[in-house]
Structure 1
Amino acid sequence: MTTAILPRAIRGPALRRALIGGAQRVIAGRDGLNRINVFPVADGDTGNNLAFTMGSVLSGALSRRAPGVGELLRRVGEDAVDGGRGNSGAILAQFLTGVAADLGDRIAVAPARLAQAVQAGARAAREAVAEPREGTMLSVIAAFAEALEVREDVRDLKAWFGDALDRARRALAHTPQQLPVLLKAGVVDAGAQGFVHLLEGIGAVLGGEAVAVDVAVPELDPVHVHGDDALADADPAHRWCSECLISGDDLHPAAVREAVASLGASCVVVAGSTTRMRLHAHVASPQALFELAARFGRVESTKADDMQAQARSAADASAVAIVTDSSADLPEGLAEALHLHVVPLRLNFGEQDYLDKVGMTPAQFYARLRHSDVLPRTSQPAPGDFRRQFDFLLAHHPAVVYIGVARAVSGTIQSAETAAQRGDAARTTIVDSANAAGGQALLAIAAAEAAREGADVETIVTRLDALRPRTLTWAMTRDLTMPVRGGRLPAWSKTVVELLGLVPIARVKPSGKLGVVGGLFGRQRLVERFAGYIARRLPADARWRVIVGHCDAAVEGAALLDALRERLPCRESWLVETGPAIGAHAGPGTLVVSVQPEQG
C-alpha cells in the first residue's frame, strides 16, 4: 500500500481504523505499563486503567460506523469518559473530549484543522488536572500537539504524523529527568508511555502496517519498582484512588475541582462535558468525595481502590492472589498482612449508595440504621468491580482465587463468574464459601495463608474443599424487629417468640442458607449459654480458630469470645464488627460465631 499521496481530508472510516489500531496497541502494552507504574503512586495499575479505558472505546464508538469525523470523536470521547479508569484514563478521556469539542460536527477534516483540534485537546487535558506535573502524560501530549504542524500542504500523512510521533517519543524519554521518582526507579512515566503506544498504533495504520500486538515487557525487579520504598512514599492521607461519574444539565468542571480541593485531595482530574463528567481523586475518605460530587449532579459508577494494597500486591512474588468480598468479616489488619484483596458490596439507604466498609464502616452503618426510617439494602458488586480487581491482580500474579459469599443467599458469585468469563477465565478460579461473615473470612484467611506458603491453585482449592464443611457459623439475636421489617420473617413470628421468651439461634447450613436450628428460653446469662450451646456441638479433640462478630454490641461480643475461649481450645480468636451483609438482615444486637478447626 502506498502513502506517497493521500487525500488532504481525513474522513471518518480512515480515522476509525487508525483509532482502532491505537487502542489495540495500548491494550497490548498493558503488562509493561503496569510494571513501570511508579507515579503518582507505585500501585502497578496504569496499564490496566488505560486498557480498560480504550477497551470501552473499542467496544463502543469504534465498534460501529459514524457519519463523520466529528461524530466519531464525540462518541469516542463520551465512551472514554464513561469507561475511563485511573488518573491516566481520565486525562486521556479529557484529551479526546477536547479534540472532539474543537472539531464539532465536521464530516471530514484537513490535517491542519486536526492539528488545531489536537492542540485544543492538549489544553483541555491540562486544564482537567488540578495540579499538573511535568514528566507525565501531560508533557508528552503537549509535545505531540506542538509538533503536529498546522500546514495546508500536507500530502504525506504518514510523514506528517510520524514527525510528531518522534517528538512525543523524545518527550517520553525525557520524563525521568523531570520526575525524580522515575529516575530513581529507572523507568519512564507509565501514562506517557501509554499515550505513545496509542500514537504508535495510529501511526502504524496510517503507514499501512500491521499494529504491533507483541509489546516487549520490561525486565524489572518488582520489589525495586513497587517495593517497600514505593509503599512508604504512598501518602496514607490519600490512600483511596476514587472515581465516579457525575451527570446533570449544567456541570462546571472548574467548580467541581475547586470543591474537591476542600477535601485535601490529590491527583484530582475532572474530565468530560457540561452534562457528564468523570471525577478522579486520591482521598482519605471515598464517601466524602462521592457526597461532595452529589452536590453537583447524579452520581453513579463509584469505585475506590486501595492503592497501598495494590502496591503490596505489585511487589508480592506469590503465584496466586486471593480475593474475597466484603461479606467476609475479616479481623483488622489481616487483609494487609496476608495480601488478601476485598471487593466491596454495594450498600443503599434510600437514594444514597455506599461501598461497604469503604464508603461506610460497620459502626457508621449501625448508627445510621438505628436512626433511619429507611431500610438498608445490600447488593452484589457489579461484574465490572470484579473485572477491575481480577485484571489488576492477573497483571502481577499467574492466577487468582476468589472466595465468595454463599451462592444460595447472594448473586455475588455469579457476578464474579461473569467478570471471569469476560477476562482471563483460565487463570481465575471462583470458589463458593457456602458461608458468610466470619465463616467466609476464615476460609479466605486459610486460602491466603496457603498462597503465602507457595501453594498452587489446585492445592488451595483442595484445602478449601476440606475446610468448607467444617467451617461453621451460628447467629443469635434477641430482637426480630429487623427481619420482620425487611419481610424476611412474618410479623406473627416476632410475637410468638416474645410470648415464649425464646431467643432464636440460626446456623449457616451446608447449602449456604441461614436457618433457625434452636433457641434459648429466658434472657438470663444468654452469652454464656450461647457459648455452651456451640461448644457442645463441636468435636472435643480439635483446636479452633474462632471469629466472634457483633452487630453494634461490642461488650457482649467480647464477653462471648471470652466464654468461648473458656470452653474451647482456641488456636486463634478474634472479635470483629459484623458488616451489613448480616447486620442489614439481623439488626443491631446480633451476635455471630464462626469456627474452623486447625488444619492438618
Structure 2
Amino acid sequence: MPAPVHELNGARLSRLLRAGIQRLLADQEHLNRINVFPVPDGDTGTNMALTMGAVLASLRRGADDHAGSTLTRAADAALDGARGNSGAILAQFFLGMGDSAASHAALSTAQFATAVTTGATYARDSLSEPREGTVLTVITDFAAETARLAATGLHDYLGLFSQALNKARTSLQRTSDQLEELRAARVVDAGAQGFVDLLEGMTDHLHLDVDAEPAEVTVAEAEHEAAAGETHDLSHRFCTECTITSANIDRRKLREQLAALGSSLVLAGTTRKSKVHIHVNEPAEVFRIAGLFGEVTGQKADDMQRQQQATHDRQRRVAIVTDSVADIPDDLLDQLGIHIVPLRIQFGEQSYLDKVGLSPEEFLAELVRNPKHPKTSQPPAGDFRRQFEFLASHFDAVVSINVTGKVSGTYNAAQSAAERVQSASTIEVLDSGNASIGQGLLATYAAELAAKGFDAAHIVAAVRKMIPLTRTYALIGSLEYAVRGGRVKPAVKSIANALGLSPVLASHADGRVAPAGMLFGRRHRRAKLIRFITRRMNSGQSYRIGIGHASAEADAYDLLDQLRCAHPHIESAFVMPVGATLTAHGGPGTLVVGVARSP
C-alpha cells in the first residue's frame, strides 16, 4: 500500500496534474465521438486536449515547489490555451483554484477542497446560461464531495481522491439523464467525461507513487466507435473565440453586449485578461465588440455546421483542408465538406480573420477606404494543429493543400502542425504551387476524389500530378494598390500608365506568383487576357475554369463567355468574388482566372 499523502507541494501537485492531463489526452478521440452537447460537432476531445495540453507544456518547463504558484501557472496556461466550451470552463475552474491557493506553499486536504470549491464557483459564474448535465455539474459535485470529506477530518489525499472520484463518476453517469440530447444519443457528456479522465489519472498516480514522474501515454484509437448524435441545422453556426487584454475590462458590460449575439457564452479570465467563447452567426461582430474593451488577440471561428457534417459522414474517409488563400465558391465548400484555416488580415492595429471576420466584399471596401494598406499573415501552426487533430479523430487521413510556399509561410505552418499531431491517422500536407483560384481548383479536385471514396495515397498522387497542370492568372485593376503595398515602385506605375501597360501576374512552375507578361493598351483588355491565357492552353484538352473578381462581376461573366468561345472544351466553370491575397495588390477591377486540365 502506498504511504499516506497529507499535503501537496508544488512538485507533487505538478506531477498529479501531468498524470491527469495525460489520461485526458489519451482519451481525446473517444471524447470527440461522444460529443453531442451543445452541438454534435465532435470536437470536445480536441478542445480539452489543446486546453490542458497547454497546461502540460507549461508544467513541463520547470518544477515549482510552491503549490499556489503551480496552480497559478496552470491557470494562466489554461486561459491562453483554452478552446471550446469545455476548455473555457476548465480554464476558469483552474483560475478559481489558483486564486484560492495562491498564498499556500503546500496544500492540506482542507485547503485543496477550498480551492476546488472556489474553482467550481468561478466556472459556474463564467457561464451566461449554466446547464446541468454538463462538465459544470460534475465539477460542482466533485467540489461538494471534497469539501464534505475534508470537513470530516480526512487528511489523506489517497482517501480524498478515491472517494471524491467515485462521486464524480456517479455524477458523470447521471448526465445522460439530465440532458435530452445525451439521453437520446445514449452517451454521457463529453466534457464531463474529460474532467473525470483528469481525476482518474491523478488518482491512479497517487496510488502508484506521488513522488514519481508520471508515465507517458499515447492517444487511444476509437476507430470502431461511431460518432454519437445526429446532424441538425444550427441556429448559430460559428464557435467563436478571442482573448481580450486591458488594464480593467468591464466584464459585466462585455457579457451583456456579447450575450445578445448568440448562445453558449463563456467568459473566462480576469479584468486584465478575458477569454471569450460564444456561438454566433457573425464572428466579426464578436471581435468588434471585444475590441471596445481592450486589445483583441487569438481570434478563432470554427464552422460548427461543417464540423458536424464531418463528424457524421459515414462515407468519406479522407478530410480535405486548405487555407483561406484558396478561392472556392461557398456552395462547393459545403457540398464537398472542405475545411478552411483562415489567414489573418491586418489594417493598421485592426486584425481580422480572412473570409470569416471580413468577407471579400468587406475587405475590398476597407481596402479602398482605409489609408493604411493591409498586411496578411499566415495562420499560427496551432490553428492547423487544432483542425488536424479534430479531423484525425474522425477520418482515416487528412490532406491539406496550401498556398505556394514561395509567397507565404502557411505551408510550413501546416507542415509543422502535422508533425506535432499524435494520431494513427495519416496527415499529408501539399504545396499547391498556386494561390487563389488555382489553389481552390486543386482543393476541390482532392475533395471530389475523397467523396468518391479514394484513400489518401491515391488523392495525394493525383493532386501532385495536377499541380503542374494548374495555373492562376491575374489581371490587376490598378497598380496604385501594388504601389501602396510596396510591391511596385511609383516610377514603374507612372511608366505603365503612360504606355497603357497592364501586367498579368501568374503562378509559375517553381511556385512563384510573379509577372508573366504585359497587355498593351487599355481597350479590350479582357479579349487580350483571353488570348494570353488560351495561348498557354492545349486546344484539344478539356479544362476546369474558375474566375474571380474584385467588384467586377459583369466583367468576370463576360470574361467567361469569351473564354468559352475561344476554347470549346471548358468542362466546368464558376465565378466568384476573389479573396484578399490578390485583391490587396490589384484593387477594384482585378480579375483572376484559374485554369486546370481536366483529369
Compute the TM-score of the two structures, normalised by the length of structure 1. Answer: 0.95
Aligned partner of residue 231 in structure 1, secondary structure = coil
Q: Which residue of 1 aligns with 2:280?
A: 283
- Say if 1:32 and 1:217, in contact at 8 Å, map to a contact too: yes
Question: Given residue 105 of structure 2, which amino acid in structure 1 is its aligned partner?
Answer: I
Match of residue 75, structure 1, among 53, 73, 76: 73
Question: Given residue 340 of structure 1, which amino acid in structure 2 is its aligned partner?
Answer: I
Match of residue 349, structure 1, among 344, 347, 351: 347
Post-superposition shift, 1:354?
A: 0.4
Residues 275 and 566 (structure 1), Cα distance of their counterparts in 2 relative to 1, 3 Å cut: same
After superposition, the C-alpha distances for 1:40-87 in whole angstroms (9 at most, x for unaligned) are: 001100001111111100110354212311111111111100111100
Q: Which residue of 2 aligns with 1:113?
A: 111
- Say if 2:150 and 2:160, in contact at 8 Å, map to a contact too: no
Distance 1:533 1:309 in 2: 38
Match of residue 129, structure 2, among 113, 116, 131: 131
Question: Given residue 281 of structure 1, which amino acid in structure 2 is its aligned partner?
Answer: I
Question: Given residue 341 of structure 1, which amino acid in structure 2 is its aligned partner?
Answer: H
Report which stretch shifted further, 151-160 or 74-83. 151-160
Work out whether 1:416 is the aligned partner of 2:414.
yes
Q: Which residue of 1 aligns with 2:441?
A: 442
Post-superposition shift, 1:288?
A: 0.8
Post-superposition shift, 1:216?
A: 8.0
Distance 1:158 1:211 in 2: 19
Work out whether 1:511 is the aligned partner of 2:516.
no
After superposition, the C-alpha distances for 1:481-529 in whole angstroms (9 at most, x for unaligned) are: 1112212112121111112122222221111222323333222222233
Distance 1:211 1:458 in 2: 34
Q: Which residue of 2 aligns with 1:498?
A: 497
Aligned partner of residue 26 in structure 1, secondary structure = helix
Match of residue 307, structure 2, among 302, 305, 310: 310
Post-superposition shift, 1:240?
A: 0.6
Match of residue 142, structure 2, among 141, 144, 149: 144
Q: Which residue of 1 aligns with 2:524?
A: 525
Question: Given residue 28 of structure 1, which amino acid in structure 2 is its aligned partner?
Answer: A
Aligned partner of residue 150 in structure 2, secondary structure = coil
Q: Which residue of 1 aligns with 2:204?
A: 204
After superposition, the C-alpha distances for 1:356-401 in whole angstroms (9 at most, x for unaligned) are: 0000000000111111101011111111111111111111112111
Q: Which residue of 2 aligns with 1:322?
A: 320
Q: Which residue of 1 aligns with 2:400?
A: 402
After superposition, the C-alpha distances for 1:92-138 in whole angstroms (9 at most, x for unaligned) are: 11011111111231111221121122111111100001000010001
Question: Given residue 476 of structure 1, which amino acid in structure 2 is its aligned partner?
Answer: L
Q: Which residue of 2 aligns with 1:171?
A: 171
Distance 2:539 2:26 in 1: 56
Residues 252 and 67 (structure 1), Cα distance of their counterparts in 2 relative to 1, 3 Å cut: farther
Q: Which residue of 1 aligns with 2:270?
A: 273
Distance 1:329 1:141 in 2: 44
Distance 2:414 2:226 in 1: 31
Distance 1:217 1:175 in 2: 22
Alignment of 1:147-162 (within 5 A): 147-148=145-146, 149-151=149-151, 153-162=153-162
- Say if 2:479 and 2:585, in contact at 8 Å, map to a contact too: no
Structure 2 unaligned residues grouped into runs of 5+: none
Post-superposition shift, 1:218?
A: 9.1
Q: Percent identity?
A: 42
Work out whether 1:185 is the aligned partner of 2:185.
yes
Q: Which residue of 2 aligns with 1:243?
A: 241
- Say if 1:87 and 1:269, in contact at 8 Å, map to a contact too: yes
Aligned partner of residue 232 in structure 2, secondary structure = helix
Residues 294 and 10 (structure 1), Cα distance of their counterparts in 2 relative to 1, 3 Å cut: same
Distance 1:501 1:432 in 2: 35
Question: Given residue 587 of structure 1, which amino acid in structure 2 is its aligned partner?
Answer: G
- Say if 1:350 and 1:374, in contact at 8 Å, map to a contact too: yes
Question: Given residue 487 of structure 2, which amino acid in structure 1 is its aligned partner?
Answer: R
Post-superposition shift, 1:144?
A: 0.7
Aligned partner of residue 487 in structure 1, secondary structure = coil
Residues 111 and 548 (structure 1), Cα distance of their counterparts in 2 relative to 1, 3 Å cut: same
Distance 1:30 1:116 in 2: 29
- Say if 1:470 and 1:596, in contact at 8 Å, map to a contact too: yes
Q: Which residue of 1 aligns with 2:17?
A: 19
Q: Which residue of 1 aligns with 2:461?
A: 462
Work out whether 1:221 is the aligned partner of 2:218.
no
- Say if 2:323 and 2:340, in contact at 8 Å, map to a contact too: yes
Distance 1:549 1:498 in 2: 24
Distance 2:233 2:161 in 1: 38
Number of corresponding residues: 589
Question: Given residue 170 of structure 1, which amino acid in structure 2 is its aligned partner?
Answer: T
Residues 366 and 586 (structure 1), Cα distance of their counterparts in 2 relative to 1, 3 Å cut: same
Aligned partner of residue 140 in structure 1, secondary structure = helix
Distance 1:409 1:243 in 2: 28
Structure 1 unaligned residues grouped into runs of 5+: none
Report which stretch shifted further, 274-283 or 506-515. 506-515
- Say if 1:378 and 1:584, in contact at 8 Å, map to a contact too: no
